């Protein structure tokens, strides 16, 4: 059993009699959270793929040409293969070969990098400038912060290291404005706040709710 297959089993969103696409259920995640919670974050181009017989529907193995690594140097300094479930109902990821560069996030199990629909994966040319800057250095500054999701009003931060994520109120998940343009960065005194701008973060800013 591959790690992603086991994860879907634990989620309890499917049964042996129901293998529909609705079986893959993911909670929305801000790109910064996806970055901080991933073992591996890279920019890469998919140059090949093959199906191997592993699990009920098999496993897709993508061969990638790594362009840059943003996170995971100690885990695996160079990534050549990415593993995912072959079935989208088990959160398997479909990537184009020899077409696009991708931002790929994943976890390392037994020396292999696994990813899926619940990971933050995006075509590089679809990322905003703020997201690219986040990958380069801003997201690192916020890994000790907590991004608190707000699904309906009213909602508030409950600790000084929290930033209130309100994208779900207008759009679902990482496609929202805060996800595209803001990073939650730790400031003076351990406070965290949303940050967007060209200059380095203002150490005196402590407003944890302003997007």
Residues 102 and 135 in one domain: no
Interval 99-153: pLDDT, tens: 999 999 999 999 999 999 999 999 999 999 999 999 999 999 999 999 999 988 8
CA dist 16 and 4 (Å) reads: 16
Residues 176 and 88 in one domain: no
Residue 206 has pLDDT above 80, yes or no: no
Q: Which residue range forms the structural domain that includes residue 38? A: 26-127
Query: Residue 12: its pLDDT value, please?
Result: 37
Question: Of 65, 93, 127, which residue constitutes the final position of a domain?
Answer: 127
The annotation places the binding site at: 24
CATH number at residue 142: 3.90.370.10
Q: Is residue 31 part of a domain?
A: yes
The annotation places the binding site for Zn(2+) at: 24
Residues 72 and 103 in one domain: yes
CA dist 175 and 102 (Å) reads: 16
| Whole-structure pTM value | 0.80
Interval 150-177: pLDDT, tens: 988 899 999 999 999 999 887 665 578 9
N-term to C-term CA, the chain: 41
Strands 101-109 and 112-114: antiparallel
Q: Is residue 33 part of a domain?
A: yes
Q: Is residue 94 part of a domain?
A: yes
Residues 166 and 92 in one domain: no
Interval 19-40: pLDDT, tens: 344 578 888 899 999 999 999 9
CATH number at residue 74: 2.40.50.120
CA dist 115 and 99 (Å) reads: 19
Q: Is residue 90 part of a domain?
A: yes
Residues 52 and 115 in one domain: yes
Q: Is residue 107 part of a domain?
A: yes
Q: Is residue 36 part of a domain?
A: yes
Interval 177-203: pLDDT, tens: 999 999 999 998 899 999 986 544 444
Rounded mean pLDDT of 83-103? Answer: 94
Rounded mean pLDDT of 9-24? Answer: 44
Question: Of 127, 156, 174, which residue constitutes the final position of a domain?
Answer: 127
Residues 118 and 141 in one domain: no
Summarize the chain as % helix, strand, coil (round to 5): 25, 30, 45
CA dist 80 and 118 (Å) reads: 21
Residues 30 and 123 in one domain: yes
Query: Residue 198: its pLDDT value, please?
Result: 53
Q: Is residue 52 part of a domain?
A: yes
Count of structural domains within the chain:
2
Question: Of 127, 150, 168, which residue constitutes the final position of a domain?
Answer: 127
């Amino acid at each position: 059993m591959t790690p992603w297959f086991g994860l879907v089993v634990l989620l309890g969103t499917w049964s042996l009699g129901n293998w529909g696409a609705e079986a893959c259920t993911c909670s929305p995640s801000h790109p910064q959270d996806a970055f901080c919670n991933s073992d591996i974050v890279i920019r890469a181009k998919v140059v090949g793929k093959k199906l191997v017989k592993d699990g009920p529907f098999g496993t897709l193995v993508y061969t990638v040409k790594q362009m840059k690594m943003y996170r995971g140097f100690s885990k695996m300094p160079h990534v050549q293969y990415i593993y995912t479930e072959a079935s989208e109902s088990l959160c398997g990821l479909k990537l184009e070969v020899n077409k696009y560069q991708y931002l790929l996030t994943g976890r390392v199990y037994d020396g292999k990098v696994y990813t899926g629909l619940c990971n933050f994966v995006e075509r590089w040319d679809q990322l905003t400038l703020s997201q690219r800057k986040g990958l380069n250095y801003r997201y690192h500054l916020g890994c000790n912060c907590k991004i608190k999701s707000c699904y309906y009003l009213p909602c508030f931060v409950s600790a000084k290291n929290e930033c209130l994520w309100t994208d779900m109120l207008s759009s679902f998940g990482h496609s929202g404005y805060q996800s595209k343009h803001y990073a939650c960065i730790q400031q003076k005194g351990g406070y965290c706040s949303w940050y967007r701008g060209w200059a380095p973060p203002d150490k005196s800013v402590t407003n944890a709710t302003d997007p």
